[in-house]
Amino acid sequence: MLIVPAGEPDAIIEWLKGQPPQTWHCVVSNWNYDYGDKVLTWILNQTACDSGAHLFR
């Protein structure tokens, strides 16, 4: 469950920094592209991001 408003990418990124890669995958797979790609770009640039998340891009 995302605990910050989707329209605030910086707040989402801060929250994601404390989450495991499994949470990142959930965010990527459910992301509303109307909110832009800043959060997705951050996730995909993380070394711990698995290749499965890249498939959603």
- Sketch the domain layout of the chain as residue ranges: 9-54
Q: What is the pLDDT of residue 31?
A: 87
Q: What is the pLDDT of residue 40?
A: 93
Q: What is the pLDDT of residue 46?
A: 93
pLDDT tens column, 1-57 = 555 666 789 999 999 999 999 999 888 888 888 888 999 999 999 998 876 655 555
Q: Coil, helix or strand for 10? A: helix
Q: What is the pLDDT of residue 16?
A: 93
The answer, as to whether pTM is greater than 0.85, is no
Angle of helix 21-30 relative to helix 9-16, nearest 10 degrees, comes to 150
